[in-house]
Chain A
Amino acid sequence: METPVVVQQPLSLQALATFRRLIRWLTSAKVVLALIMLVLMAYLIIVPLYRMLATTVTFQEKDSLFVPDAVEGRLTTFHWVRMLASPISQVLLYPPLQHSLVVAAGATLFALIIGSAMAWLVIRTDMPGRNIISSMATVPYIMPSWTIAMAWTVMFKNRTTGGTPGLYEYLIGHSPPDWLAYGPVPIMISSALHYYTFFFLFVSAALMSIDSNLEEASELMGASRWRILRKITFPLIMPAMLSGFIMTFSKVMGTFGGPNVLGVPVCYYTLSTMIRSNIGIGDFADGFVLAIMLILLAMITVFINQKVVGIRKSYETIGGRGFVAHQTKLRNWKIILMIIVIVFQILIIVVPLGLLAYDTFMLRPGNFSPSNFTTHYWIGKSNPDIANGEPGVLRNPKIYTGAWNSIRLSIVTAFFTALLGVILGYAIAKGRGTRLSKLVEQIAFIPYVMPGIAFGAVYISMFSKPFGPIPALYGTFALLAVVSVAKHIPYSARTGVASMLQVSRELEEAGEVAGAKVWQRFRRIIFPLTSAGFVSGFLLTFITTMRELSLIILLVTPSTQVLASMTMRYTENGDDQMAHAVIIILVVLVMIGDLLIGRFRGGSLKKGLGM
């Protein structure tokens, strides 16, 4: 055809054309949104991380006590040496690190066994009552993670800590041994009973996706049941189990509630409680070193997850999605196993809540007899002899403020998480394949590898002083909202992209051809088609924020207390009954939220996991 004619233009025209192209690029919606998100995320994620790191390598005001010639703000390896290689590291770093690893490994293993066994029973056997068991299995995860830990103390606490006896001692007459009352064993058990839901959901999904033909094929070849399970089924669900393992492991590493209730009273510190303790006494730099160690550990686990599971992921697509026809017949075991599972679920849901409730009606802790009954902690007026003069929770203005703060925080967080989800989803999904989109996606992923308490620590360093145009946010409600929204960014991005990808490209392009401006396309085409996903995302965020503790524990102040942090404060002050009444209110609120989710199609706990 015609040969291309190259017309040489004057330089000024070339520059004009380049300028116009640049403006066009800069004003396209996906680029504008991506750039806005980059700035926002730089402010919410990158800068705080940098400042935290900077704090650990500069002298702080307090350091002149230890280093005579310390000049505040000067570069130093002092904190790192102190925390990693000085005598004090034998107290502040290594034991907590070891405890964290032990607790996380133990809890994860325990959760894996319970969750996988239950998933197998529900998906692959003819056990009766599977529907109820399946829906009950997610309840422990919905409740605050330290619920069982608190109930544990009601049952098993002993007088090692100089307090009152638990129900165990009241009934049996002698004190439970220390290993049962406090420390690693109860922390492991209470964490495992919260996080086993991960395994249950992951392994269920994997089992459901296995085509039973694969198993039938080997059965036809004469393989025994056990052999099939070992050689076919197990390798196929391996990736799901590994994902669950890594996820649970890094979650338990960063969890604060359980170790604080069951470990700290006997000085059994984990990294998370040690970070709190350091920051609590103003040793920010030391606390930050620990937080960075925790972040590194979490990054390593996520990295392993991606390496190991990434390679094996191809398994997941094997087989059809049809429901498995082949179910193991349990015969005589059917009823026995069902009873065992249901008793177990009652033990970990009803009994803990019952114990906590019982405790709130006891005037003096440790006396479980009916004569000790009181409704004071619920509806009593202020009495200086009881609970430091706090009125009962239902007439206590502090509780109402806390509950209002919790609800307010959850709504604000859920709203902005959904909003960022729309923006991130659009910027990433529409820009697929460009470097800008990839960069946004990668930065949005960072909070995922940051354990909650470490992320909270990051925010102390950022917002304790004014930064740029932003005032010092420490001690404000806004800071809690900002940190909660920032921690949810990976979740925003993931749900946002998933929702946007459901809307085919042509639907927006048809609007473009029809002459709709970008905001018109957004309002009339994209948003209506994706809103269902964002509504369920909103509700899930609402619940997870409501019962979040690790993230905000370092940032709450007396005026910004939320219910979750109040339970800790009351426990630490020895007002167990108050703490337990508050956690019951919290559980009720969360359950209401969960019921609401059930009303919206597409809302599933699995989508909200891990964020």
Chain B
Amino acid sequence: MGTTIIIKNLTKRFGNVIAVSHVSLTIEPGTFLTILGPSGCGKTTLLRCVAGLEDPDEGEIYIGDKLVFSHQQGIYLPAGQRDLGLVFQNYALWPHMTVYKNMTFSLEIQRLPKAEIQRRVADSLAEVKMEGYADRYPRELSGGQQQRIALARMLAYRPKVFLMDEPLSNLDARLRMDMRAELKRLHHISAATTIYVTHDQMEALTMSSEITVMRYGILQQLDTPDRVYHYPANLFVADFIGNPKVNLLEGVVDDGGNSVDLGKFKININTHNATGQVVVAVRPEDIAISTEPVPGAVEFTAYSVLPSGADSTIVARLGDTEITVKVMGSSKIKMDDKIWLKFDPQTSNLYDKESGKLVDPEN
């Protein structure tokens, strides 16, 4: 099951603003791809281009073996002929139709037999656990229920591709957690190629099989969640992903390439032939913290301690250098305590300061 989606050199402008800039992307069958980025980065526009709701200015889009858009050939397949389903951010349930009518709208247009229509509605409602709501109007449903019906409506017409535009952003935090699990399960069962747009990194990391990070209409990185988290391709991605935020420490390559001089102290790290100004990115959870001096550790002061149950965040300071550390469980450390931090050269990443790009060990 599933369909390949190929996007080639896609560009979409709104007046002088370039919303999507020369995006090329291949999405393998069954992939759950998340387009992640801050608001205004062009992620929704990219999704709408695939859906057929925007008319791009350049490039090509293939869905399966069908060429659905090509600027060069002047081809543009309407949304209805692209065999895809879309869940909108605000659900876009038709307020004048019952849940049942909302779901059968597309099926009636396809002129499916009545029995088949009823079976599909029942199946889809069961899949989102909304049996018994067929006769309600959308306004009679809660936000979470509307969300499920929007999903069910898409499932009912069995598209080969699922598109979702921030579907969980209007739900409260708790419902969002529940729905993440449901959506991931749904994708697991259907194995439909899915493109999911969000600005929420947790959604992206927890649900996707692949993530692409976007900024200013340009793709920054396309990778597995694990690699996006651990090997961000550039400083923007490193900074955007992770909570608490990654520590970005500016310094100069020293010791013939075996350490980075950060001014107050040095970090021993393999610099892979990088030279000059660099930035070391260290995830807060990758820093070892100790209340006693340890060899190789640097002395800091606990500026602030923020416990949050399962883990605690400690803001450490040395002069004007501030470093965030995350430890599991609650911490014994109190504010203004002396603490020693040890950096792990294996998990730290090195970026060229000027280009912002990851210094890749493979190069």
Contact = CB atoms under 8 A, between A and B. Distances in A.
Interface of A: 1-2, 4-5, 7, 9, 13-14, 16-21, 24, 504, 506-507, 509-517, 520, 524-525, 528-529
For the residues of A in contact with B, the DSSP-based class is helix
Contacts of B359: none
Contact of A512 (B22, B53, B70, B89): B53
A339 to B, nearest CB: 47
A5 to B, nearest CB: 7
B100 interface: no
A13 B75 CA distance: 12
B190 to A, nearest CB: 17
Given A4-B9, A510-B86, A516 B106 contact: yes
Nearest to A2: B24
Nearest to A510: B92
A19 to B, nearest CB: 7
Contacts of B70: 17
A529 B92 contact: no
Given A513-B51, A513-B79, A513-B86, A507 B73 contact: no
Contacts of A517: 80
A525 B94 contact: yes
28 contacts: A1-B22, A1-B23, A2-B24, A4-B22, A13-B72, A14-B72, A17-B71, A17-B73, A20-B74, A21-B76, A24-B55, A504-B90, A504-B92, A509-B53, A509-B79, A509-B88, A512-B52, A512-B78, A512-B79, A512-B80, A513-B79, A513-B80, A513-B84, A514-B105, A514-B109, A515-B81, A515-B109, A515-B157
Contact of B76 (A24, A506, A511): A24
A224 B9 CA distance: 69
A514 B53 contact: no
B95 interface: yes
Nearest to B78: A512
Contact of B72 (A7, A24, A509, A520): A7
Nearest to A14: B72
Interface in B59-99: 70-76, 78-81, 84-86, 88-90, 92-96
A529 B96 CA distance: 7
A7 B52 CA distance: 24
Contact of B74 (A1, A16, A515): A16
Contacts of B92: 504, 506-507, 509-510
Interface string B84-125: 111011101111100000000110011000000000000000
B252 interface: no
A512 B109 CA distance: 11
A513 B94 contact: no
Given A17-B72, A18-B74, 9 more contacts: A504-B90, A507-B95, A512-B80, A513-B52, A514-B109, A515-B110, A516-B105, A516-B106, A517-B80
Contacts of A504: 90, 92
Nearest to A520: B109
Contact of B80 (A7, A18, A514, A525): A514
Nearest to A7: B72
B219 interface: yes
Scoring A2, A19, A512, A515 by chain B CB atoms within 10 A of each residue's CB, the highest score goes to A515
Nearest to A23: B74
Nearest to B80: A515
Contact of B9 (A5, A13, A516): A5
Contacts of A515: 79-81, 106, 109-110, 157
A516 B74 contact: no
Interface string B151-195: 001000100000000000000000000000000000000000000
A520 B94 CA distance: 14
A510 B94 contact: yes
Contacts of A19: 74
A525 B97 CA distance: 9
Q: Pick the 7 closest A-B CB pairs, nearest first.
A: A20-B74, A515-B80, A17-B74, A514-B106, A506-B92, A510-B92, A512-B79
B64 to A, nearest CB: 17
Given A1-B24, A5-B9, A525-B94, A13 B110 contact: no
